[in-house]
Every structure is written in structure tokens, then in C-alpha cells.
Amino acid sequence: MIRVLFVCLGNICRSPMAEAIFRSKVKKAGLNQQLEVDSAGTGDWHIGEPPHEGTSEILFKQSIPTDGIKARQVKQTDLDTFDYIVAMDAGNLGELHEMAGMKSTGSISRLMDYVTDSEFEDVPDPYFDGNFEEVYEMVEVGCEKLLQHIQNEKSL
């Protein structure tokens, strides 16, 4: 089983959006038996909460389910059990590298690292500006490119 973890700050906007989108893509590709997807936050403010209403609304419009997604905080064990740990921005990436030290067994990267033709390195946090549409577009493309990367790397 290949395990993918998406990480943002509070785990209510960007990373649950990525989790839901990626799950949808994995299902469409018929790879449910090969890939497991989750999300978490570096902060602990929203533990147990469902995705932000802005995230839920845009995913609902796209017919992408958010069933079972609840905010949680990244744990040290995540760094050993996930093959791909995908941060939404440089701040989250730095925190993950700091947590991992030399112990991580997975690949730690940013989602936009997989979008080679993007002018953006980070997925902006819509929690403050409400721009869920722009974030959705970035995350959707990032998830598509990440899935292609994993399929090529793991010969799926």
C-alpha cells in the first residue's frame, strides 16, 4: 500500500481539499487497492472538525465527497508510515522537515513541486482571504500531477 499524506496549517481548508480531490482521482484511476490517502495539520486548533465550509462548498459543487474527513494534527509516526508527505506551503514544509530530522522514511515535498509549469510554489491559505476557487484550481492540478508522478515512479 502506497500512503499519501497532505499537510497544511489547520487541516480544515487546503489539505482536506487535497485529500478529497486525490481520493476522487485515485478512485477514478481504479487504484483504491494501491493508494491510501489522508490529511493532517501542523497546528492543533481544529482537531476533530470537518472541512471548512468554503472547502466543503467547492468540493460539493464538483461532486467530490468529503465523507469521514476530520481535522487532525501531524504525528511523528506519520513521518515513518507515509510514503509521500505533501505540504501546501513552505512554512508547512519547513515544520515537516524539522519534525522529521533524519528519521523520515517518506518523501517530503510541496504539492506545487509536481506542477512544473506553475508560477506558484505555495498553495495560498484561503482561510483568511476566502479564495477557495483559486485554491481548488491549484490543488486539482497539483493532485493530478502528483498522481501521475506516483503512477510513473511506482509503475502503477
- Taking 70 as the threshold, does the pLDDT of residue 134 lie above it? yes
Question: What stretches of 9-50 adopt beta strand conformation (E)?
Answer: 35-41
Residue 81, exposed/middle/buried by CB under 10 A (0-12, 13-18, 19+)? middle
For residue 85, what is the domain's CATH number? 3.40.50.2300
Residue 128, exposed/middle/buried by CB under 10 A (0-12, 13-18, 19+)? exposed
pLDDT at 96: 95
- Tens digit of each residue's pLDDT (9 = 90 or more) over 30-48: 999 999 999 999 999 999 9
What average pLDDT does the segment 143-155 reach?
A: 97
- Taking 80 as the threshold, does the pLDDT of residue 113 lie above it? yes
Question: What stretches of 54-141 adopt beta strand conformation (E)?
Answer: 84-87, 107-110
Cα dihedral 128/132/138/139 (nearest 10): 100
Q: Domain count of the chain?
A: 1
- Tens digit of each residue's pLDDT (9 = 90 or more) over 60-108: 999 999 999 999 999 999 998 999 999 999 999 999 999 988 665 678 9
The domain of 138 spans 2-154
Residue 14, exposed/middle/buried by CB under 10 A (0-12, 13-18, 19+)? buried
DSSP string, 102-115: T---SEEEEGGGG-
pLDDT at 102: 64
pLDDT at 93: 94
- Cα–Cα dist 104/85, whole Å: 10
Q: Quick one: how far is CA 17 from the chain centroid?
A: 7
- Tens digit of each residue's pLDDT (9 = 90 or more) over 4-33: 999 999 999 999 999 999 999 999 999 999
Contact 119, 113 (CB under 8 A): no
Helices (H), ranges, the chain: 14-28, 53-61, 78-81, 90-100, 126-129, 132-154
- Cα–Cα dist 135/13, whole Å: 9
Supply the residues annotated as catalytic: 8, 14, 125
pLDDT at 104: 59
- Taking 70 as the threshold, does the pLDDT of residue 111 lie above it? yes
